[in-house]
Chains A and B, each alone.
Chain A
């Protein structure tokens, strides 16, 4: 099922493995379903039907000028999972974690368990994680130097990948409402978080600027376990195996 229509929009979806369904959501800008496909998804696929998809405007999904707020993206998620009859598990990295949380708030009966990896709170602080953006929120001239290390190593080898990454970021940063959507995303109220009864696992990096977000969710969510792993914001790369193990155990 590579490209499917979800809410009238061409969406790139991949599935791995068989078993109870787990849906994994990637982060904004430099994320794509490949973020999970080459990290925790293959491990989870040993016992689950793992569904990964490209958010609007990312990877091989249709370009989108707007709709990067968590409510719209949770609507996209609802369309991507419309065929799943049973409640499913959700795993989200960074902004994808906030989309998963938003979805659990809006559709509590649909979500079995919730794993949130490195989601920033307040949501607008997500732009601080995108350290490869210049202070004015634009693309810096030396973008490649500012990318997180594992990605930099992967693209630094030559021209083609760098050009394609730059083009994709230009569309998102300069020609979509993504940055404004992130800036305007309202914070979640503690009272709203207190009503999320879904069992949750919070996974954060010990050297990530997102750490306060994890601490706040751990206090506010009634059924959450908070685990800190060695690594930074891109924990699926920094602590690939440890993260996969934690997810496997939580979703067993």
Chain B
């Protein structure tokens, strides 16, 4: 994994912990294949808080809402950390 992606992954992990607490990491560190819903069990309202923190961290260049608007509901439910990391990386390249 590139340095940039590794860095984004750790940022996502840090912000997930800020939003939902570090007991989420009891099962181990967050990886690219970790699912927000099935693995982390984030509530939808926590996911909104995560999006807000990501937006604050990465700025308007990462259009999280526009990205979500193009996804089907089942794609949002199945979203993995890796997909989010790739999206953020693509906005920064």
Do B48 and A33 touch across chains, with their CB atoms under 8 A apart? Answer: yes
Which of A17, A32, A42, A43 is B44 in contact with, Cβ under 8 Å?
A32
Query: Complex: how many Å from CA A14 to CA B41?
Result: 22
Query: Closest CB-CB distance, A150 to chain B, in whole Å?
Result: 7
Of A99-107, A131-139, A156-164, A201-209, the one contacting chain B is: A156-164
Write the chain A residue with the least CB distance to B56.
A2
**Which residues 5-20 of A have a CB within 8 angstroms of B?**
12, 14, 16-17
Do B68 and A237 touch across chains, with their CB atoms under 8 A apart? Answer: no
Which of B38, B44, B66 is A34 in contact with, Cβ under 8 Å?
B44
Of B2-10, B69-77, B80-88, the one contacting chain A is: B69-77
A190 an interface residue at 8 Å Cβ cutoff?
no
Do B73 and A43 touch across chains, with their CB atoms under 8 A apart? Answer: no
B1 an interface residue at 8 Å Cβ cutoff?
no
Which of B37, B38, B52, B66 is A14 in contact with, Cβ under 8 Å?
B52
B26-68 CB mask vs A (1 if < 8 Å, else 0) is 0000000000011001111101110010000000000001101
Which of B41, B49, B73 is A38 in contact with, Cβ under 8 Å?
B73
What bracket does the count of chain A residues touching chain B fall in? 20 to 34
Query: Closest CB-CB distance, A244 to chain B, in whole Å?
Result: 9
A59 an interface residue at 8 Å Cβ cutoff?
yes
Of A2, A42, A158, A237, the most chain B CB neighbours within 10 A belong to A42
Query: Complex: how many Å from CA A38 to CA B41?
Result: 16
Which of A14, A16, A39, A153 is B77 in contact with, Cβ under 8 Å?
A153
* A-B contacts besides A32-B45, A37-B48, A158-B41, 19 pairs, CB < 8 Å: A12-B45, A16-B65, A33-B48, A34-B44, A34-B45, A34-B47, A38-B47, A38-B68, A38-B73, A38-B76, A41-B65, A42-B68, A46-B66, A60-B49, A150-B73, A160-B41, A161-B41, A161-B42, A165-B43
**Which 5 A-B pairs rank lowest in CB-CB distance, beginning with the nearest?**
A42-B69, A34-B44, A160-B41, A157-B38, A59-B45
